Amino acid sequence: MAKLNQKLKLKLKYKDDLFKFILSIFIFGIILIFITVVAIIIYYSYPAVSRFGIAFLWTKEWNPPKEIFGAATFIAGTFMVTIIALIFAIPLSLGIGIFLEEYCPKFLKGFFTIIIEILAGIPSVIFGVWGVLTIVPWLRRDIEPFFEAHFSNIPFLKVTENIGYGILAASIVVAFMVVPIIASITKDALAAVPKITKDGALAMGATRLDVIKDVSLPFSYRGIYGGIILGFGRAVGETIAVVLLIGNQAIIPKSIFGVGYTISAMLANTFTFAVISPIYASSEVALALILLLISLIVNIIGRNVLQKVIGGKLSRTQFGGG
Amino acid sequence: MTEKENNKKTEDLGNYFPINKSYIKRKKIYNRIAYTFAALAFIIGAFPVFHIIYSALIIGYKYLNWNFISTLPSGFPIGAKGGILNAIIGDLYLVVIASCLAVPLGIGSGLYLSLFGKKRTNSIIRLLNELMIGIPSVVWGIMGFYIFSTNAGLGFHFGFSALAAGLTLGFIMTPIVTLLTEQAVNRIPVSYIEGALAMGATKWQATKSVIVKAAMGGIFTAVLLGVLNIIGQTAPLLFTNYYNTGMPTGVTGPGGAVGDLAMLIFIYIHEPSRILHYKAEAASVVLLFFVFALDIGMRLISWVTVKIFEML
């Protein structure tokens, strides 16, 4: 009996080993993809990095004919768009997360969550078109004249050209693109609060607001930080919607209504012209290196924060769009 | 305990729990205000979903007919007449090529991560995988350009073509499929897998006869979510494929470029022509239709599998 099975056992073991071997080839593919993207970006940005050094980060001039390249303008634009977008998105998504987890009637919760997930799935080019045909006319017609009339003395709110395009238009649209990320992570973090502690507070006569303020938020604030960090990472890399809305002029904006340029918009607009000159192309790849490093650092931090709260399980709103 | 002491205690308690009606009323009003603000936040957040669909439909509806979907763009500027057939066919090319790379790679890696490997190596691979999900799509595009598209230096020299763009999109799709496949396999009750292994099945037999069947719904969801993600990508196509107003004649080299819905919308909205803006909105309706169809399909599959698990 045992002898008879020996052959079969060997065959099975052989098959099992083959299976494992094939799967490890696949896993090697994953590692290879990661190494490829990092290596390509580092390899092709090396000429620019070695020529301009760290001063690349704060040189303002970007002059292809003279071969002087500096990223300061684009870094400033990127961070302005990202930070203003987060200023809009954080209160909004905290409100959404709290509403969905604490206040929303049970029978509507599933449906409302799906709406927020659909927002995450809308492609970024459609957000861009929506911004061009809806947000920009609205800013031009209603918002900018109002600010011009009442707030023209405040430095960051000065309206120089009443055209609608600019940092604010891009920020509003990017804000809606990061809202689902932060909102869904906030919701998951609030859902991870033990129900018994909430019920205890409610039984003591606390209102829902007291429960949120004194029980839920202190328990889940780390998760919310993690969500905000991941949202930051997404907003920094946002490309197509920003290209359509920011105005694409290489100046450091002095006001939120001004036009500007972000790193990703610059790459999308000029990279394919740049490849004729090696140092120009290399400078563009150095811009991509900045984006890559920001995204890697931000995601490592955000992942570590979230690991402790919701077990590092990314919800499906992390992907989608583009 | 004397009566005096007892009275004092009650007073202290009264200080700790000031039970008066106006206090309770105030608390309730604050709670109402918080409720209102949270609901308002949700309404503002949900507004773009409806307004995007509404504004795309209201502008694009007069172009939406069978002709729009089944003819190639023509006229001047190109696209003023005709439809978007090139983009739909092109999207099909891209999705098929990307899936050929990402589906085996992603499912295989996801299975490996949940079945084999040491804990430490797996956590490193998981980290790399999740980092790749966070990499911006322009960076992928530049990588795709230097590996697949460029005609000088190292690389495959595919030119601006469907193969270059499809493989770049495949790179974007792979980590998503991997992550979700692993989650799907981890969701299977441990007793299923352990039961199979306890009966003497090897891991290959357990995978073949138990895991793949039990995780089928989850794996389908993973693939559909990957496709949903790449169908809206525009930035990588700028560097690897650009756009073609006609039909591709191959998948590499000159004539290998394909149209793409997202690229078409992006190019049309750049043109200073009202009719092209309207057509961009009509094409957005078509793209949104694909996105929502995938989304609903995905939800149905995962809903059905959950129901089946509940029945078992």
Host H or E run for residue A69 = strand A68-69
Which tokens hold the place of A185? 């992570």
The burial class, CB within 10 Å (0-12 / 13-18 / 19+), for B304 is exposed
- Please check the confidence at residue A159 and state whether its pLDDT lies above 90: no
Give the separation between CA A218 and CA A193, rounded to whole angstroms: 10
At residue B35 the predicted structure's pLDDT band, cuts being 50, 70 and 90, is: very high
- Please check the confidence at residue B18 and state whether its pLDDT lies above 80: no
Average pLDDT over residues B111-134: 89
Give the model's pLDDT for residue B24: 83
Give the model's pLDDT for residue B78: 85
Q: With contact defined as beta carbons under 8 Å apart, do A38 and A227 qualify? A: no
Give the model's pLDDT for residue A15: 87
Task: Tell me what ipTM this predicted complex has.
Answer: 0.93
Q: Is the minimum CB–CB distance between A318 and chain B shorter than 8 Å?
A: yes
Q: Name the residue in chain B with its Cα closest to that of A238.
A: B136
- Please check the confidence at residue B191 and state whether its pLDDT lies above 50: yes
CB-nearest partner of B109 from A27, A102, A132: A27
Mean pLDDT, chain A, as a whole number?
89
- Nearest CA to CA, how far is A167 from chain B (Å)? 18
CA atoms within 13 A on the CB side of A149: 6
At residue A310 the predicted structure's pLDDT band, cuts being 50, 70 and 90, is: low
Highest mean pLDDT among A60-69, B100-109, B116-125: B100-109
- Please check the confidence at residue A322 and state whether its pLDDT lies above 50: no
Residues 6+ apart with CB under 8 A from A69: A48, A52, A56, A59, A61, A62, A63, A279, A280, A283, A286
Q: How far is CA B76 from CA A159, B63, B162, B265, B281, in A?
A: 37, 17, 25, 17, 18
Give the separation between CA B186 and CA A31, rounded to whole angstroms: 21
- Please check the confidence at residue B62 and state whether its pLDDT lies above 80: yes
- Please check the confidence at residue B36 and state whether its pLDDT lies above 60: yes
Structural class in CATH, domain A52-318: mainly alpha
Give the model's pLDDT for residue A304: 86
Encode pLDDT of B251-274 as tens digits: 888 888 999 999 999 999 988 888
Q: With contact defined as beta carbons under 8 Å apart, do A52 and A63 qualify? A: no
Encode pLDDT of A15-47 as tens digits: 888 998 999 999 999 999 999 999 999 999 999
Interface of A with B in 47-76 (CB under 8 A): none
Average pLDDT over residues B34-49: 95
Give the model's pLDDT for residue A321: 44
Give the separation between CA A243 and CA B264, rounded to whole angstroms: 15
Encode pLDDT of B138-156 as tens digits: 999 999 999 999 888 788 8
- Please check the confidence at residue B312 and state whether its pLDDT lies above 90: no
DSSP string of A110-143, one letter each residue: HHHHHHHHHHHHS-HHHHHHHIIIIIHHHIIIII
- Please check the confidence at residue B8 and state whether its pLDDT lies above 70: no
Q: With contact defined as beta carbons under 8 Å apart, do A321 and A240 qualify? A: no
Backbone angles phi, psi at B156, to 5 degrees: -90, -10
Q: Which residues of B touch A295 (CB under 8 A)?
A: 131, 134-136, 139
Q: How far is CA A9 from CA A15, A174, B293, in A?
A: 10, 58, 47
Give the model's pLDDT for residue A316: 56
Residues 6+ apart with CB under 8 A from B59: A133, B277, B278, B281, B282
- Please check the confidence at residue B14 and state whether its pLDDT lies above 60: no
Q: Which residues of B touch A188 (CB under 8 A)?
A: none
Encode pLDDT of B228-247 as tens digits: 999 989 999 999 998 988 88
Q: Say what percent of chain A tops pLDDT 90.
A: 63
Q: Is the minimum CB–CB distance between B205 and chain A shorter than 8 Å?
A: yes
Give the model's pLDDT for residue B11: 57
Q: Where are the alpha helices (DSSP H) in chain A?
A: 2-52, 72-98, 106-121, 124-130, 136-138, 144-150, 167-191, 195-203, 208-211, 217-237, 240-245, 263-274, 278-310
Q: With contact defined as beta carbons under 8 Å apart, do A322 and B234 qualify? A: yes
- Please check the confidence at residue B178 and state whether its pLDDT lies above 70: yes
In chain A, the N- to C-terminal Cα span, in Å, equals 60
Give the model's pLDDT for residue A320: 47
Residues 6+ apart with CB under 8 A from B252: B158, B159, B161, B162, B163, B164
- Nearest CA to CA, how far is A5 from chain B (Å)? 12
Which tokens hold the place of B41? 């936040």
Give the model's pLDDT for residue A31: 94
Mean pLDDT, chain B, as a whole number?
88
- Please check the confidence at residue B13 and state whether its pLDDT lies above 70: no
- Cβ atoms within 10 Å of B262's Cβ, excluding its own: 27
Interface of A with B in 279-298 (CB under 8 A): 284-285, 288, 291-292, 295-296, 298
Average pLDDT over residues A66-71: 91
Give the separation between CA A207 and CA A213, rounded to whole angstroms: 10
Q: Where are the alpha helices (DSSP H) in B116-255?
A: 119-134, 137-144, 162-187, 190-198, 203-206, 212-214, 216-231, 235-240
Q: With contact defined as beta carbons under 8 Å apart, do A69 and A62 qualify? A: yes
Give the model's pLDDT for residue B3: 59
Which tokens hold the place of B221? 């969801």
Give the model's pLDDT for residue A192: 87
Give the separation between CA B184 and CA A272, rounded to whole angstroms: 40
Give the separation between CA B18 and CA B31, rounded to whole angstroms: 18
Give the number of beta-carbon pairs within 8 Å between A and B. 293
Give the model's pLDDT for residue B9: 59
Give the separation between CA A73 and CA B138, rounded to whole angstroms: 18
Give the model's pLDDT for residue B162: 93
Q: Which of A215, A100, A87, A179 is nearest to B39 (CA)?
A: A100
Give the model's pLDDT for residue B31: 93
Would you report the helix, strand and coil content of chain B in percent, each value rounded to 5? 75, 0, 25
At residue A317 the predicted structure's pLDDT band, cuts being 50, 70 and 90, is: low
Highest mean pLDDT among A80-94, A272-286, A293-307, B251-265: A80-94
Residues 6+ apart with CB under 8 A from A259: A161, A163, A165, A166, A167, A246, A247, A248, A249, A251, A253
Q: Name the residue in chain A with its Cα closest to that of B151.
A: A275
At residue B107 the predicted structure's pLDDT band, cuts being 50, 70 and 90, is: very high
Which tokens hold the place of B284? 């957005």
Residues 6+ apart with CB under 8 A from A263: A71, A74, A75, A77, A78, A287, A288, A290, A291
Encode pLDDT of A81-126 as tens digits: 999 999 999 999 999 999 999 999 999 999 999 999 899 889 999 9
